[in-house]
Structure 1
């Protein structure tokens, strides 16, 4: 319905040559497509919006269009392009003297989301905190920044009471201003916190899925990622179906991060079923995608699993190499527990490698040839070489 009314508005704007209105309508289309996860169409509409704004020399409209296009590139998983467009938009707002406007806060939220998806949690948290401070008089952005900080803190292992306080404050603000979408954001972060604390109930996730399916793709993917991550659900047998739904949904939306997380989670299921060959193939494929997208934590998780498989198959050196590469990635994503787990692996297995090396040296010593025999063989070799040299000389002289 919204697209239909928008088409009527666009036709009218085109008939009277109103470029500003055309730009606004295209941006409206882009937001609609972004919300439902049709990021490819959304990107094209947004590009049309900011190009029309550029033609008319309206810098603020151009900045808004650039941010909307960046949002769609974020959904598609092209973080480099997203950052590039966001920085262009910020420079235009600076020229307009509006760096701390609503649009400026939106750009900070966007850049924070890029860092969060790449698991650069410290930087993302700092960016959201800037928004919370700058948007003290903007209840919507203030509440959303609190939710996003709480979401990051769940992943960083922050104390439960600190996270709960932010969720409660955000819920109160959003209830007052009547923001339904933001309230759902509180619910999904609450569900994620409950899961981290050992509550294995899927009810709140499923409630949010039913509420937002077909309306808000970001919420849907968020829920599916948590439901499909087999490593977080103990003694449960529902994860394969959720992982498959995540993969199918992300493929449909061309959402790269969800695609590769789906592959990783399905790999976890095969690993639990002792199918290491299939699991290894899926982890390798996911790792390639995460590497291209520069998603630190997910890269490290795949490396850990591949290293464990190598260790089990007797390739300890490859396992050590993979674990060693994973460690700085976990450091980059502030994963303290995982870093400790890697250190334990490395400490235990480096000792085993040293023992194997010492045994190998001892075996070589046992196989070594006695010194006297070596000397005799060397003398015989020298006599043969001398005879050959003399024969060669005689042949040349003749």
Structure 2
């Protein structure tokens, strides 16, 4: 995952003619400088520009760290981020463009950036460097010329898209789905919000799901899918996101379109609607036919307990490492037990409403004592939203049972001392 680089790093005007000192960091070998600057980038990236200004030697040594991960944010006039943005563009237009461009490995676009600005940066990188990641973190649609440039120049590039705020887009065109981006064969990771008009998971309705399914099927190379669904509510002051021309289908991935998710490694589906995602037998069997079970590493169902999914996939996901689900009221935990029991190397387990099903699930959780590194036991709510807490003796048992556990989370009441720390929701050790 790309590290964020402070915007201040781009606005620094570095000295070009300052003589190197004969002592300090300037005199140590280049590999030692690289190691020190690498540690500095990890621990305190905001201090890197100041260090780089101390000499020409350190300026040159710091360049790969300061420009490896570019963040593009064009802020309104008068905002300091706008000055940073303009300084960066001037560097790409100037004589120092080659020195900067050859170090860039990833770009993150955080809001609407003019196509000509993106093309300037991409042209310089294609001439002098090697781009590996392109992160699109905005509801703005990716310009056609930019996407064509990415496709034609870097066939092994990975695009990550995070689009979670289409309803807030000022430009009405950006409230629609960017099908050009969603269907790109370079798209490797997607975090997305889909909108629905229905109120029951087992009843057809108009939604974004059919278009999203068709787009992802066209690309065919997505490795990580993280989707949250929520209601598209009509009102006098809010533009509808789901059009009246959309077909009425079940609000879920449409696998009838011949979807292929053979490279899928992570699947996360959560609902903010009135219902849960419909994991019926037909849908689960279809998904099983469209994935490579040996590649799947992470499943996240939020607080849902997909009983049919667990039954269908028990025993066929040999390398699953991460699982999140909920011990929901009025659902059976036997499918979840059988599913967890069928796994061989679980490293992360998060259970919502954990107190409700912990005793029943404990035997299969304990089975993973030699591999589990993270265990999160989510809050459980009883009648009238009153909290139900896990007994502290359970936490003592967990600490003695899981030797590799690095992260433990549970729900505790305010004022109850737990080890050296007390939190009202989560305590991590």
**Normalising by structure 2, what TM-score?**
0.30
Higher strand share: 2
**Is the radius of gyration larger for structure 1 or structure 2?**
1
Bigger relative contact order (CA 8 A; separation at least 6): 1
Higher helix share: 1
